[in-house]
A and B are shown apart, each in its own frame.
Chain A
Amino acid sequence: MSREEVIGTIMEAIVRQDEEALAQNVSKGLEQGVEPLVIINEGITPGLRKVGDLFANEEVFLPELVLAGQIVTEVMHVVEAKLRGNGAESLNKGLVLMATVRGDVHDIGKNLVILLLKASGYEVENLGKSVAAETIAKKVIELKPQIVGLSSLLSTTMPAQREVIETINESGVRESVKILVGGAPVTREWAEKIGADGYAENASEAVIEADRVMGYR
């Protein structure tokens, strides 16, 4: 199998959410000497992106998107181990703090974003749901993340996203972190209004937006 074919089968396995085929083809690629970064950048990332697109297009369903994220997260451990074995630096794209804001207990969407961020090479600290602004600000000081992701499903809890940004401002660490907001009622206009650095409409876009604010794309 040529290098292009191996990469193609990796993409396909992700699109089909076929855990076994994904593991086999990634191992095969690594055995054949395909560079781990090539596997990630040309096979895994586009594969996951494709599943995200299919989800946005209503052709792949939520449990399947989650499964794709899970199997990619698993296989990324293998590829990263190979990267480190080659003496390269870890793939870690940065630390993201994720929270559903105070008053809001909806976290299925936020958990999906976490899964796709992890599958894309980010380290994620999940602060949970209905998290107070003060708690988030403290964690920013303590863990020094590159990104804070704030989720809100209810229009009534959207103002809590602004509170978090204000509290982080007051803590004096605003410049050290990029803040992304999301959730069903959230719009780009709202994100700009409250001084967030980025916004995404869905989980797949959230990864792209994270890459954008980090300067990866």
Chain B
Amino acid sequence: MQPRLKILSDPELLKIDQASRALLKEVGTYVPHEESLEIFHQAGANVDPKTKVVKIGDRLINQTLSMCSSCVRLYDRKSDEPLLIGGDRVYFGTVGIATNVLDFKTNEYRQVVCEDLKDIIRLSDVLEPPDFILVPGTPTDVPSAIVDVIETKFLLMNTRKHFIAEAQNRENTKKNIAMAVEIAGSLEALQKKPFFSTLVCLTSPLTLREDATELIIESVQLGLPLFIESGPMCGGTSPATLASTLVMANAELLSSFVLAKAVNPEVPLIYASWARILDMRAATCSHGGPEFPLLRMATTQLGKYYGLPSGGGGILADTKSIDVQLGMEKLGTGLLPALAETNMVVGMGLFADENAISLETLIIDYEITGWIRRVMAGIEVSDATTDLAPFIEVGAGGSDFVSLKHTRDNFRKEMYIPTIMDRGFLALDKDPETRTMRKRAREYFGKVMGTYSPPELPDDIESRLDAIINR
């Protein structure tokens, strides 16, 4: 049996579903975008042109949900086999709204530049997991109006894994798609096997911003997949109960799904959330406390309740340094969503309350996700794994099982073999700090990147992508 967790009962899920539907019908969603208001109107929603509030009834929600697939196929440029997002599959990815990096060499914080983005994408390309890459950093040495398309260019040039791009408006969404077409060869080829999807961040409370709606419309028209996230802060941008935060996070996602499916019923959508709390002492949102994984397990269950592929934040930390708190927060916020079968857990590399990334934390997260995957695999109990043969071979009161062929055949399957965790014995005469996880992460970086080569692309690809960016 593989260990799995649920934190909401079926009646509780129903209650949240009912409350979200009531919220969408009674309070509605603010949509300050004429084109979207028209789409909602045509789809059958109740639109108030003065207040720009859209109220959605049960029938439209049910119609929308009936158009959704329970499994989204995310392709990459490595193989023809897509990642299947949905059901019990769990994949881990990076995330990077952060504009700060903890410098590998100086151990000081500084702003992320393009070179950092390249380094972290390449490290993400070589490590497994991440299984996919959500833009893992925001460079500050390029104009902010084109930072998203620059990010996409770096992703296209430095990884073959599926990636999730950011786009801040319609124009940049078009540029992202145009650059991907340049790599794919044609729009048809990209549509057939989309090797990237686009991130949509919704605004709380109950708002569909103009840029988000344009991004949705532009991508959806072409049938390119969207990773849509709601991220209310309990007590700040949502009411101060975790349940109401779920009600709202769910309602926000459902309203965005209605818009997307009204434009293109076939578009693949992923139901994701970063619903979290506002820390009332620090006046900042927290991603490392116990509420975060609770909310993540709950939004995952809501996604499954509707039969949707799910995603959301995880493997996160509020701590500002690579310390004990980091390990505690990242394991807790990674393990619990994974055990709830969040299909796409995003957070690898990120820490300092969403504000920083580092190469070391990405490697530490690689270890954490490996540890989690082993837990998820559970204990195989079968005739083969309970065979008497090794007992007979060693006998009662015998020596040990180390030298058995049975041991050699099984230990790698049964035991997680860590990459950077220290399990050596306590060397009393040596410096206890010599083998810290962070030091081992640094050593592993050198080892793993020593033989890395980036994707092979035509010589003129960079200038072709730059031409699109500078249009």
Given contacts A184-B426, A187-B427, contact A61 B411 (CB under 8 A): yes
B407, CB-defined interface residue at 8 Å = yes
Contact residue among A63, A188, A189 (Cβ-Cβ distance under 8 Å from B411): A63
Whether the Cβ atoms of A67 and B411 lie closer than 8 Å is: no
A66, CB-defined interface residue at 8 Å = yes
A64, CB-defined interface residue at 8 Å = yes
Q: Which 6 pairs between the two chains have the least Cβ-Cβ distance?
A: A184-B425, A187-B429, A63-B408, A66-B403, A63-B407, A187-B428
B392, CB-defined interface residue at 8 Å = no
CA distance A187 to B426 in the complex (A): 10
- Count how many chain A residues have C-beta atoms less than 8 Å from C-beta atoms of the other chain: 17
A200 to chain B, nearest CB (A): 13
Binding site for A on B (CB under 8 A): 399-400, 402-404, 407-408, 411-412, 417, 425-429
What residue of chain A has the Cβ atom nearest to residue B408's Cβ? A63
Given contacts A111-B399, A111-B400, contact A64 B408 (CB under 8 A): yes
Q: Which of A61, A63, A187, A189 has the most CB of B within 10 A?
A: A63
Pairs across A and B, CB under 8 Å, 29 listed: A61-B411, A61-B412, A61-B417, A62-B402, A63-B402, A63-B403, A63-B407, A63-B408, A63-B411, A64-B408, A66-B402, A66-B403, A67-B403, A67-B408, A70-B403, A107-B399, A107-B400, A108-B400, A111-B400, A111-B402, A112-B402, A184-B426, A185-B428, A187-B428, A187-B429, A188-B429, A189-B428, A189-B429, A201-B427
Q: Which of B400, B402, B407, B411 has the most CB of A within 10 A?
A: B402
In the complex, which residues of chain B have a beta carbon less than 8 angstroms from the beta carbon of A107? 399-400
In the complex, which residues of chain B have a beta carbon less than 8 angstroms from the beta carbon of A112? 402
CA distance A185 to B400 in the complex (A): 21
Contacts across chains A and B counted by CB atoms under 8 Å: 36
CA distance A154 to B412 in the complex (A): 28
A193 to chain B, nearest CB (A): 12
In the complex, which residues of chain A have a beta carbon less than 8 angstroms from the beta carbon of B429? 187-189
- 14 extra A-B contacts, CB within 8 A, seeds A61-B411, A64-B408: A62-B402, A63-B407, A63-B408, A63-B411, A66-B402, A66-B403, A107-B400, A108-B400, A108-B402, A185-B426, A187-B428, A188-B429, A189-B429, A201-B427
Which residues 166-217 in A have Cβ within 8 Å of B in the complex? 184-185, 187-189, 201
What residue of chain A has the Cβ atom nearest to residue B406's Cβ? A63
In the complex, which residues of chain A have a beta carbon less than 8 angstroms from the beta carbon of B403? 63, 66-67, 70
A175 to chain B, nearest CB (A): 28
Which residues 5-52 in A have Cβ within 8 Å of B in the complex? none
In the complex, which residues of chain B have a beta carbon less than 8 angstroms from the beta carbon of A201? 427
CA distance A66 to B399 in the complex (A): 14
A195 to chain B, nearest CB (A): 18
What residue of chain B has the Cβ atom nearest to residue A153's Cβ? B425
A158 to chain B, nearest CB (A): 11
B449 to chain A, nearest CB (A): 18
In the complex, which residues of chain B have a beta carbon less than 8 angstroms from the beta carbon of A184? 425-426
